[in-house]
A = this chain, B = another copy of it.
Amino acid sequence: MDNLTGLRKQINLINNEILKLLNKRAALVQKITMLKNETGTDYYDPMREAEMLSDILNQNKGPLPDELVKEVFSSIFHTALNYMGISNERKLLVGTESEVNLPKLNEMFDIDADIPVVIAGPCAVENFEYLDQVAKALKDNGVKLIRAGAYKPRTSPYDFQGLKEEGLKILHEVSNKYKLYSVTEVVDTRDVYLVQKYADVLQIGARNMQNFELLKEVGLTNKPIILKRGMSASINELIYAAEYIALQGNRNIILCERGIRTFETKTRNTLDISSIPIIKRETHLPIIVDLSHSLGRKDIVNQLAKAVLAAGADGIMVEVHPKPELALSDSKQQLNIDEFRGMLSTIGY
């Protein structure tokens, strides 16, 4: 086995030579980057990479075949860019490296930075009285945003579809009365103008997260937009959907995690809480969590409210109804007013 030991020593020596060259190379790349900073040319240059690779492969006399040489040098190029903090992916407007100014959630609604934003209200606007009772409870408890659907996207065309413009009017009247910000969903490009006349915040539902025409249309307004993650949307797709809005000029974007579809049936959807810190790392966007739609049950709302805030969420959305058992939709997941108060107290309201 002496022979093996000898061969290994030689490999060790080569490893160290390569190491030195890699560091020398890195120092040169650093100089080039500084030069480019001065001259303002682009950092990442795929053509230059292709040229270098072509040169290298021309020089290759083996025994390593070209494809393996290419593999190592791709890694070397990638490392060099990484070292200089240069990504070869596009900079998104909503991304962490963007210089666009994206407002924080509390700034949008003039709320104290150290308390979580709470958005609450019934699933749908059903009538003035119910909404008025909820609004009063919100006001009494220091909650500033009321949500209620006037346009309800429903799986079956035979289910209650919302009061539409009549619902918008009730929401507008009630939110004015109690000086609350109103939040409501918009489901059709043709309705955006109407809905924004009545509501302070527009919501894009999970089913419409990749309805790109709708995203562009709300991107032309200046209202804050709550963009819900689609039921099977990846985090990347959610971020790109936000970019559609931002590209049109509207930077008041609030992402909303609301669970993804899995095989587990104890909750309606599986809340992907890991998405919260990931989105914080990859974007400057605020993110809230819709607890009611994701869970589809209310007996564990308090624990999850605490969990998502601990994970870094900027706020939560929950459904509150004065008489959940009589609600026209989603009656099992709506808190009554007492339960809502209990939830608020667990998160320090």
Chain A residues near B (Cβ < 8 Å)? 1, 3-4, 7-8, 10-12, 14-19, 21-32, 35-36, 39, 44, 46-48, 50, 52-57, 59-76, 78-79, 82-83, 88, 90, 126, 153-160, 187-190, 207-208, 210-214, 230-232, 234-237, 240, 243-244, 247, 260-267, 270-278, 280-281, 294-295, 299-300, 303-304, 306-312, 323, 325-326, 328
Contacts and interface: CB of A to CB of B under 8 A. Distances in A.
A73 B15 contact: yes
A266 B275 contact: yes
Most interface-central of A14, A190, A237 (chain B CB within 10 A): A14
B264 A260 contact: yes
Nearest to A90: B158
Contact of A28 (B1, B14, B153, B277): B14
B19 A274 contact: no
B7 A32 contact: yes
A246 to B, nearest CB: 9
Contacts of A326: 50, 53-54, 57
Contacts of A280: 303
B270 A262 contact: yes
A210 B207 contact: yes
A90 B12 CA distance: 26
Contact of A232 (B7, B83, B261, B304): B261
A301 to B, nearest CB: 9
B208 A211 contact: yes
Nearest to A282: B266
B12 A55 contact: yes
The 7 closest A-B pairs by CB, nearest first: A232-B232, A75-B75, A307-B311, A310-B310, A188-B213, A277-B303, A207-B210
A281 B264 contact: no
A309 B309 CA distance: 12
A274 B295 contact: yes
A232 B299 contact: no
Given A14-B25, A16-B56, A63-B27, A281 B310 contact: no
Contacts of A304: 273-274, 277, 311
B70 A325 contact: yes
B155 A240 contact: yes
12 contacts: A11-B52, A46-B160, A50-B328, A68-B82, A72-B76, A153-B210, A156-B243, A232-B263, A267-B278, A277-B299, A303-B311, A306-B311
A287 to B, nearest CB: 12
A170 to B, nearest CB: 15
Contacts of A48: 8
Contacts of A52: 11-12, 15
A264 B263 CA distance: 8
Nearest to A36: B4
B24 A14 contact: yes
Given A23-B60, A66-B325, A44 B158 contact: yes
A180 B2 CA distance: 42
Nearest to A208: B211
